[in-house]
Structure 1
Amino acid sequence: MKENEVPQDKEDYKGKSQIHKLMYATKEDGSYTQVNSEGWEVENMATRQAWEAVLEELQEIEARVRNGELSPIAYFMHKHLMELPILARHMGKWQWQIKRHFKPAVFRKLDQDTLNRYARVFNIPVDSLVRFGQ
């Protein structure tokens, strides 16, 4: 794409108006140059829809935590856009162990060291993890 064809469809969502995407375009002489783009309408719409889906799922998980169906670990994992394998790797545990920690009865029995490690991974105070929803 040519320099003057780089999309500049500005999108203000979640205070991200200062974000620009670096794209490569061709100059008149055929060489490549870097051009900042404020976005492309279709890309912005897809991004907005993806974030709405993430937030909707997060609300569903929060409701399940408050209803005692899941532990707060499931909520914070999703909030930080983590998948089970990533969280397991950060925790130094097997995936099946993390899945067990999703169970409220198992979560309540976790030792302080494990809770501290979860809090470090999620970059939150331990109290936020333990007292979630209270």
Structure 2
Amino acid sequence: MKKDDVPQDLSSLGKITKEVCYATDSNGKYVTELSSGWDVKITALDTAWGDIEKRIAAAKQQVIDGKASPLLFFIEYRLMDIAILAGYTGFWKWQIKRHLNPNVFKSLSDKKLQKYAEAFNIKVEDLKTMTVHED
């Protein structure tokens, strides 16, 4: 593709970041050019974020229904899984799975809750109430 043909379709990430693409200049040599995105990529990203938002909403509903602890919500919200959370907290994966039970979660010590809060970059009270503060 020629340098002038590099797509510049504005996406939701276009104001935050740009992608490096390779194109040919007027002399036919390869050069790098910044692109703010293109339609196909925008559609794929929007679909992926839509799926993530559905998973977060489903996790929140499970917590509200008493089927899971707030850990599930924050795991989804922070785009983590149990293995990643285990790495951040030092808990075993089986312990985290157990802590996903709302009754077990309610009995966790402040020290354990603090580890989870630090992993999610929130306060313990926000962990308990599923409160998200956007910065």
Shared fold (TM-score, shorter chain, > 0.5): yes
In 2, the alpha carbon distance for the partners of 1:3 and 1:132 equals 47
In 2, the alpha carbon distance for the partners of 1:30 and 1:99 equals 57
Q: Secondary structure at the match of 1:35?
A: strand
**Root-mean-square deviation over aligned CA pairs:** 1.6
Kindly tell me the number of residue pairs found equivalent between the two proteins: 130
1:116 partner amino acid: Q
Write out aligned runs for 1:5-84 (5 A).
5-11=5-11, 13=12, 16-19=13-16, 20-84=18-82
Are the equivalent residues in 1 in contact too, given 2:73–2:130 (CA < 8 A)?
no
2:107 partner amino acid: K
Residues 1-60 of structure 1: CA distance to partner in whole angstroms, max 9, x if unpaired?
Answer: 32122111112x3xx441322222232334332211111101100100111111011111
Give unpaired runs (5+ residues) of structure 2: none
With normalisation by structure 1, the TM-score equals 0.88
Match of 1:108 in 2: 106
In 2, the alpha carbon distance for the partners of 1:83 and 1:30 equals 46
Write out aligned runs for 1:75-94 (5 A).
75-94=73-92
- Cα deviation, residue 109, structure 1: 1.1
Give unpaired runs (5+ residues) of structure 1: none
1:107 partner amino acid: F
Match of 2:122 in 1: 124
Structure-2 change in CA distance of 1:3 and 1:95 (3 Å):
same
Q: Secondary structure at the match of 2:119?
A: helix
